Amino acid sequence: RWLAVRCWHCRSVVRVQTRNTKYWRCGVCRRVNGRPAYARGAWAGVAQCGLCRFYASRLVHVVAISLIVGIVGFALGWALPLASASYSVATKTLVWSVSVALSANVVYHFCLAARSDPGRVPRLSRERWARLVADDQWEKTAGRLPWCEVCDNLKPPRAHHCSTCSTCVVEMDHHCVFLHNCVGAGNMAYFARLLLSLLAGTTYATTYAASLVGAAFLRGTSDLRAVALIKIARRHASAIAAIPETSRYIVNTRDGRYLVVGAVCAGVMCGIAVLSFVTLRAFALGETALERSARLWRAGPDYRHKRPALSRIARDLFRA
């Protein structure tokens, strides 16, 4: 089956096969175009459509802001400092100061990473780029410039085209849907600081919640009783049937609420710790995630499809 489509560059009408690849080359101007979404099938069209991915990234960005404000603001800004109401004035001031400082640090670095330029290549003509890089060592003529045929712009070394942002980014690591922005040479440091600030905030919240629950259990003043949980479990035939009543009991107790806050922050902390390790490893090796994937792909299928043994994981992680 053939479709009549219009070239985005020269506006010529050409015929393209529906079973062709994701990109097609115009027979008139010889430039590369993206295939229309309706020619790839329903699911493939939605998954590969740049506009759909752009608005999906924006939706996830809004959800991420809501989660950060909810988790960080609730845990650090209200729930845990509220537990220090019976403390002395000095201790209460210290707890509130640390909570507010960590919350502000997370929000500040999130705004920096989301709003800063990741290293987008300015859109200029081929002749203008030839004049700008005339003194550079790797190119001197317009015909030899490394060119991105998708966005019709210069593609410097270590640059990658982001199909969601529709531009090339220098030293692009990945497109973060939570930031609704690419992570590249311009904001990689901000992204790493965001992860470290989130790790510090969730670690503080988890430790504080665990200390509150543990201190109440040691003093014998905890309102979360194991006997009550056992009675609830005995009233139901299965553990799944006891989940709603157990959840209501835990949420209605003071220490149960602290336990829920600590468990949520602990789960976020584990995920952020893994991301922080991967990001700091990329900093240490000077290699982005895309460059690492390309290097592993060039290593061949024998290496790609083998999972290293546990004794080789550390050596593989820190290998240049």
Give the DSSP letter string of 194-253: HHHHHHHHHHHHHHHHHHHHHHHHHHT--S--HHHHHHHHHTSSSTTTTHHHHHHHHHTS
What is the reported pLDDT for 273? 92
How remote is the C-alpha of 283 from its chain's centroid?
Answer: 16
Confidence of residue 299 (pLDDT cuts 50, 70, 90): low
Residue 167 has pLDDT above 80, yes or no: yes
Q: How far is CA 116 from CA 58, 120, 183, 200, 201, in A?
A: 16, 10, 10, 22, 23
Tokens for 213?
């629950």
Q: Which residue has the higher pLDDT, 197 or 285?
A: 197
Residue 250 has pLDDT above 80, yes or no: no
Confidence of residue 77 (pLDDT cuts 50, 70, 90): low
Can 111 be counted among the known catalytic residues?
no
Pick the range with the lowest mean pLDDT from 159-163, 181-185, 218-222: 218-222
What is the reported pLDDT for 42? 47
Q: Which residue has the higher pLDDT, 266 or 51?
A: 266
Greatest mean pLDDT among 25-39, 44-58, 200-214, 291-305 lies in 200-214
Q: Which residue has the higher pLDDT, 198 or 46?
A: 198
Residue whose C-alpha is closest to residue 186's, from 288, 273, 108: 288
Average pLDDT, the chain: 74
Q: Which residue has the higher pLDDT, 115 or 77?
A: 115
Confidence of residue 313 (pLDDT cuts 50, 70, 90): very low
Q: In the chain, pLDDT over 90 holds for what percent of residues? A: 1
Tokens for 67?
């989660």
Q: Averaged over 5-14, what is the pLDDT?
A: 77
What's the pLDDT tens digit per position in 15-57?
Answer: 777 654 566 677 777 666 665 544 444 444 445 555 566 667 7
Q: Averaged over 224-228, what is the pLDDT?
A: 72
- Residue in 7, 26, 162, 176 annotated catalytic: 176
Q: Which residue has the higher pLDDT, 68 or 90?
A: 90
* CA 193 – CA 72 distance, rounded (Å): 16
* CA 62 – CA 47 distance, rounded (Å): 20
